[in-house]
Amino acid sequence: MERSTIVRVHDGLHARPATRFVRLAKSFESDVEIVKDGKSVSAKSSVKLMLLSVKENQEVTVRADGADAAEAIEALIGYLENPRAGLDEDAETEDQPAAPAAPVPVARPVSDDSTDGRLRGIAASEGASVGPVFAHFPKEIRPQPHTLPAHAIPAEIERLHAAVGLVRKRMADALADATLAESDRAIVAALMDIAGDEALIDQAERWIGQGMDAVSAVIGATDATAAEFSAVEDGYLAARTDDINAVGRQIALALLGEEEADLSTVPEGAVLVADDIGAWDLARAPLGRIGGIVCGKGGATSHIAIIARSHGIPAVLGLGEAIKDLASAKEIAIDGAAGWVAAEPDDAVRAEILRLTGDALRERAALAEFRDAVPRRGDGTVIEVAANLGSLEEIDPAKAAGAMGVGLFRTELLFMRHAHLPSEDLQAETYATLAKAFAPWSVIIRTLDIGGDKPVAGIEFPDEENPFLGWRGIRMCLDRPDIFKTQLRALLRAAVHGNVKVMLPMVAEIAEVERTKVLIAECEAELAAAGVPTGRFELGVMIETPAAVLIASQLARHVAFFSIGTNDLTQYVMAADRLHPAVAHLNDVTNPAVMAAIAMTARAATDAGIMVGMCGEAAGRADLIPEFVRLGLTELSMSPSSILRAKKTITELVPETPAD
């Protein structure tokens, strides 16, 4: 069986989206292939899948052969057609783009500036420091190729599988370590997937079958695969060369019975100097002690750069052969934002670094003061600055950022993570965990917001010319009470554990709210009859359709709160698809028409005496927050990375009451 589709996965099947796609493919018994431009690869090999270089908006065909072929094609096509796939770490979410710890820098050419003695490379992670050099140059693995006799081949293949198993176990143990940062966890998981990749292992097995020793076979297989990645005209994929080589090195070391050079002795504030550092080694290093990273290899999209940015470590990469000169230095100055390093810095360079670090520390300290702040309006009304979340893994970063609860929990991500619809128990446990984590602050949980543009396994969607105007959100839920009531029962059960509020998406009619209330009453009765404890929750709606804006004054009499979803509201008010680049300029929340819609909504809520908040991208914009507060919004929900700045902005507002 086969079926073609247009890929809607944000940025295509790179690294982690490819890993998720492969895991989904492996959950089926059938042989599965994906075809692009006439080239076919196994859908169960993340390495081969990444090399296929599947981009967003390209056409591909999924083929499956086996007992569950139909189910495999339905699930995999559903993933590809879902523009929110791969959301967790590296794609835009519906209402708020996930912000990186620091912006991805622009690569600069490597040069030796003779005027000031500084080496310039790729600015990979901002920040500045001066520290002692910690040279990390592990010995090169030099295989001693020899031909195996035929009788020794089976045992050598067994050795290969044992080494792969050992490397994967070490990585699994690292993932089980609660101290491993979430950003690093995703990278280790991707490396673990590469270590077990069937295409990579099969190639090594074939060479062993021809009489090659296991170490030579592994090095040869990873070198060949890395060369394929290097040849791809895609900077991100080319950067995966480092990951392939790092995994091959770990397997080879396991075959040799050797351990990798240890980074555990890095002294406080040291600048790590290396030709290259495997992401596996760096993720396990004492990152809190590292003052900077300087490498001969690597780029702005390499995993070294990603780890450095997520931990706030200055990094300059891609210095090439010049790295050998730095290895013998005693001390190095580094400016990761400008992309330069200087060996044995003089007083002028030290003074420059001191100024840069001072500026950065003052900015961070100024914002950190607002972590526990409770910002208030001029009349004393609290303005809740909450977080937009999509998974339980995001709870700790949100709390660390000072989130005053959750203004949007996207439950559709819970559905997208599973090949089948999540059970009532699983949903109840998830929502309860969220409620308990933020108590006594409220958590606003949005009911299932899926539709023709973002289907999930277990729900059949019709083909639609314009899915953004079709069977989605509350419309789909009311037509499928079997699915909707399962979620409502889970929410009622979770309400026992904290301040749960429930929000309905895509509301355009008051009847949709009333029909939902009938279902909630039915669920309460069913749970009571079964002796299951329940709590009450406030029911609100997202204001994201022009219809909801126009009937806001009537709608306010039937709900407890409004939350304005500015991304969808903007696209509907402006009649401009927010995913279409040709009309991107129209998707501007500051357009007078959109701001008028926000003002109308705020006035209707204020007049009715209900809370009005915002959970769209604009909620975190410091330039717009003063106007939102003036209009009467008392809750703003955003990416955790924007929370401290938002709190500071509100706290420093000139006291005034909301607009009349």
Contact call for residues 136 and 263 (beta carbons, < 8 A): yes
Residue in 295, 477, 523, 615 annotated catalytic: 615
In a 3-state reduction of DSSP, which class is residue 443?
strand
Contact call for residues 267 and 132 (beta carbons, < 8 A): yes
Cis amide prior to 440 (ω within 30 degrees)? yes
Q: Is the dihedral of CA 115, 116, 121, 123 positive or negative?
A: negative
3 Cβ neighbours under 8 A, 6+ residues apart? 61, 62, 73, 77
> What span, in angstroms and rounded, lies between the C-alpha atoms of 592 and 602?
15
Token digits of residue 518: 């009938």
Rg (CA), the chain: 27
Q: Are strands 406-410 and 442-446 parallel, antiparallel or unpaired?
A: parallel
Please provide the DSSP assignment of 255-293 as one string: HHT-PPPP-TTPPTTEEEEES---HHHHHTS-GGGEEEE
- Is 523 designated active site? no
Token digits of residue 582: 């040709």
> What span, in angstroms and rounded, lies between the C-alpha atoms of 540 and 612?
10
Strand partners, 444: 501
Total residues belonging to the chain: 660
> What span, in angstroms and rounded, lies between the C-alpha atoms of 145 and 122?
37
Strand order in the sheet with 270-274: 111-113, 118-120, 340-343, 331-335, 128-136, 270-274, 290-295, 315-317, 122-125
If we measure between CA atoms, which residue out of 542, 547, 551, 536 comes closest to residue 608? 551
Residue in 303, 311, 497, 523 annotated catalytic: 303
- Is 615 designated active site? yes
Q: Is the dihedral of CA 194, 248, 174, 641 positive or negative?
A: negative
If we measure between CA atoms, which residue out of 299, 259, 260 comes closest to residue 282? 260
Sort 304 into a burial class: Cβ within 10 Å, 0-12 / 13-18 / 19+.
Answer: buried
Token digits of residue 52: 């296929």
The HSE-up count of residue 23 (CA atoms within 13 Å, CB side) is: 15
> What span, in angstroms and rounded, lies between the C-alpha atoms of 9 and 63?
18
* Strand ranges for 318-394 from DSSP E: 331-335, 340-343, 384-389
- Cα of first residue to Cα of last residue in the chain, in angstroms, is 63
Sort 522 into a burial class: Cβ within 10 Å, 0-12 / 13-18 / 19+.
Answer: middle
Q: Phi/psi at 467 (nearest 5 deg)?
A: -60, -25
Query: Which positions are annotated as active-site residues?
Result: 303, 615
